[in-house]
Amino acid sequence: MEKKEIHFVLVHGACHGAWCWYKVASLLKEAGYKVTALDMAGSGVHPKQLDEIHTISDYVEPLMEFMASILPEEKVVLVGHSMGGICISAAIEKFPHKISVAVFVTAIMPSFDLGLTATLEECFRRVEDHMDSQYMFDDGNNKPPTSVQFGPNFLSSKLYQLSPPEDLLLATMLMRPAHLFLDPSLTGSVVVTKERFGSVQKVYIICKKDRVLKEDFQRWMIEKNQTDEVMLIFGSDHMVMFSKPIELCSCLKHISDKYS
């Protein structure tokens, strides 16, 4: 397949937006690929507000609408970062025939045997210090938090510790609060099956210096899934698109050449 026919669809993580892909999208476009970076509902410049998003289905609606618009003969390389892994998992399950390969970049990856809620709870449990991040408890203080806004100290020491300072500053200006979806009733629409989710080729990219989704948690998710390949990016924090954009692009090009 010619490079110009390969279409990367990039999905951001919690509190971020399509803006976080600006380096990677530019590099991929310069290399001749087609690139679409999407804002999930209530993220980036998407018009919905946090209180208008009640379930995972509401949050991933922009991705689902985009996937539905793709022509039947077209396939995309679907890339999800961090919580974006939940979004692309929902899209894989619904549109497996439209995806040539799915790429989980230090991302949440549910499995057939372990539900999304259990995976999210395990992720939340492993974050050792939430620092100055602000949590909302709309369902009551005795219930799991409903949304989060990352604090500047949490960003600088946990997410962006190896990224350029100008990208950290950009994040503090553009981030929006994000739903956590820890209540099982909010995640019921994301159920992955062997017949659909399992039929799509998947690659997981481990970021070795990630302090949020640490390597042991990334490997814990990989052990519960059958991925076609695991790749490593050394010296990368959680925000690999900022700390190691060239290396991430190299991985994505390899994946597209091998699996598309």
Taking the C-alpha atoms of residue 43 and residue 31, their distance in angstroms, rounded to an integer, is 28
Candidates 210, 236, 237, 243; catalytic one: 210
**Residue 130 is among the residues annotated as catalytic for this protein:** no
The catalytic residue among 43, 82, 89, 163 is 82
Which residue among 39, 238, 243, 256 is the active-site one?
Answer: 238
Asked about 54 being catalytic, the answer comes back as: no
Is 238 a known active-site residue? yes
The residues annotated with a catalytic role in the active site are 82, 210, 238
